[in-house]
């Protein structure tokens, strides 16, 4: 089969500890046979899960993701959520990426259609970014305005719903007030983004925050790299988004974290990916479709 026209969606949900909820969400996606969950990355410390879905049909992919939204809102109460990873809602973030010869503009149409449905039918405030937004605004810009990067309780935890029902930034779709049990969602479209986390064996969050900032393009480090320091069990991870992985790769990110760690007198471990590569995703999809999974 040709991989010339495939569409990918990553769905990030705030909840990795509630197994019955995840089973319900996964069943919802499997109602659409042209779409497959090709990867699942869940982390109980972060209390966050990412599903990578692929389809040869834009309608099937959009409907599968919408069905996951519906199941998630029924099974998860955002006001009761807590974890060491920042989040804005039960379904925190959805990003669509082109695979093969598919264009970013094509997946942007899926993102905008999904945002419209989630806002109008499920009554959840939706913010768009990247190619799905008229001004091509960046994901981290939306998150920054909504207070995403600031823990709201002690111990570097994000806990409960948004503090105010009145949103500081007007959503692109949906109501202007938020229901705490659901939160809000950010939906976008872009080229491929690599998620890579490097562990730092240090208990001082301030030290690792300085490393994370200096690694990032925003902090004068590697262009097109976004990074944040997150507590994860016995280490603190420098969690990175590589927005242009063909220009700045994981070897450069790993090397930068190690160099900055050495300057700060802390040990840095080998990082890890949270998803498959685009080629592996395509191969996995076709294997699943051919086997009827």
Query: What pLDDT digit, counting tens, does each position of 87-137 carry?
Result: 999 999 999 999 999 999 999 999 999 999 999 999 999 999 999 999 999
Distances (CA, A) of 255 to 180, 241, 266: 41, 15, 14
- pLDDT, tens digit (0-9, with 9 covering 90-100), for 216-229: 999 999 999 999 99
How far does the chain reach from its first CA to its final CA, in angstroms? 16
CA angle 159, 165, 170 (to 5 degrees): 110
Q: Which pLDDT value is given to residue 153?
A: 81
Give the number of other Cβ atoms within 10 Å of residue 290's Cβ.
9
What CATH number is given for 5-191 in this structure? Answer: 3.30.990.10
CA angle 272, 45, 66 (to 5 degrees): 85
Specify whether 81 is catalytic: no
- pLDDT, tens digit (0-9, with 9 covering 90-100), for 54-69: 999 999 999 999 999 9
Domain ranges of the chain: 5-191, 194-273
- pLDDT, tens digit (0-9, with 9 covering 90-100), for 205-256: 999 999 999 999 999 999 999 999 999 989 999 999 999 999 999 999 999 9
User: HEC profile for 38-66?
Assistant: EEEEEECCCCEEEEEEEECCHHHHHHHHH
Residue 7 binned pLDDT confidence (cut-offs 50, 70, 90): very high
pLDDT cut 70: percent of the chain above it: 99
Please state, rounded to an integer, the average pLDDT across all residues of the chain. Answer: 95
Query: Per-residue pLDDT for 293 more than 70?
Result: no
Kindly tell me the sign of the dihedral angle through the C-alpha atoms of 109, 114, 131, 194: negative
Q: Which of 85, 97, 133, 232 is catalytic?
A: 85
Tokens of residue 140, six digits: 């981290």
Give the burial string for 238-251 (b: 16+ CB within 10 Å, else e): bbbbbbbbeebebe
Please, what CATH class does the domain formed by 194-273 belong to?
A: alpha beta
Residue 1 binned pLDDT confidence (cut-offs 50, 70, 90): very low
Report, as an integer, the average pLDDT of 275-289: 95
Report, as an integer, the average pLDDT of 188-193: 98
Q: Which pLDDT value is given to residue 151?
A: 86
**77 with 160: CB under 8 angstroms?**
no
Q: Round to whole Å and give the CA distance between 94 and 136.
A: 16
β-pair type (158-159, 82-83)? antiparallel
Q: Which pLDDT value is given to residue 2?
A: 53
Query: Per-residue pLDDT for 76 more than 70?
Result: yes
Q: Which pLDDT value is given to residue 156?
A: 83
Query: Per-residue pLDDT for 155 more than 80?
Result: no
Residue 4 binned pLDDT confidence (cut-offs 50, 70, 90): confident
pLDDT cut 90: percent of the chain above it: 90
Q: Which pLDDT value is given to residue 292?
A: 72
Report, as an integer, the average pLDDT of 192-211: 97
Query: Per-residue pLDDT for 180 more than 60?
Result: yes
Q: Which pLDDT value is given to residue 150?
A: 86
């Amino acid at each position: 089969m040709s991989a010339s026209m495939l569409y990918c969606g990553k769905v990030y949900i705030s909840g990795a500890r509630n197994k019955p909820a995840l089973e319900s969400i996964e069943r919802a996606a499997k109602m659409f046979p042209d779409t497959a969950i090709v990867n699942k990355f869940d982390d109980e410390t972060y209390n966050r899960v990412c599903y990578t879905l692929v389809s040869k049909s834009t309608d099937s992919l959009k409907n599968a993701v919408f069905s996951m939204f519906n199941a998630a809102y029924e099974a998860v109460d955002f006001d009761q959520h807590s974890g060491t990873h920042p989040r804005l809602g039960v379904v925190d973030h959805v990003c669509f990426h082109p695979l093969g010869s598919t264009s970013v503009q094509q997946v942007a149409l899926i993102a905008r259609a999904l945002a419209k449905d989630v806002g109008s039918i499920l009554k959840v405030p939706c913010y768009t970014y990247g190619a799905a937004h008229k001004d091509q605004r960046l994901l981290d810009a939306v998150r920054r305005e909504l207070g995403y990067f600031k823990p709201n309780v002690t111990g570097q935890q994000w806990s409960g719903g948004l503090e105010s029902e009145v949103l500081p930034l007007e959503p692109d779709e949906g109501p202007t007030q938020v229901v705490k049990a659901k939160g809000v969602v950010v939906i976008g479209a872009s080229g491929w983004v690599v998620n890579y986390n490097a562990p730092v064996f240090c208990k001082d969050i301030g030290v690792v925050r300085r490393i994370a900032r200096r690694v990032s393009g925003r902090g004068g480090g590697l262009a097109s790299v976004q990074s944040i320091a997150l507590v994860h069990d016995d280490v603190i991870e420098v969690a990175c988004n590589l927005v242009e992985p063909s220009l700045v790769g994981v070897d450069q990110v790993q090397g930068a974290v190690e160099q900055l760690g050495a300057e700060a007198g802390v040990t840095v471990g080998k990082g890890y990916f949270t998803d498959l590569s685009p080629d592996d995703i395509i191969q996995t999809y076709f294997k699943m479709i051919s086997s009827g999974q």
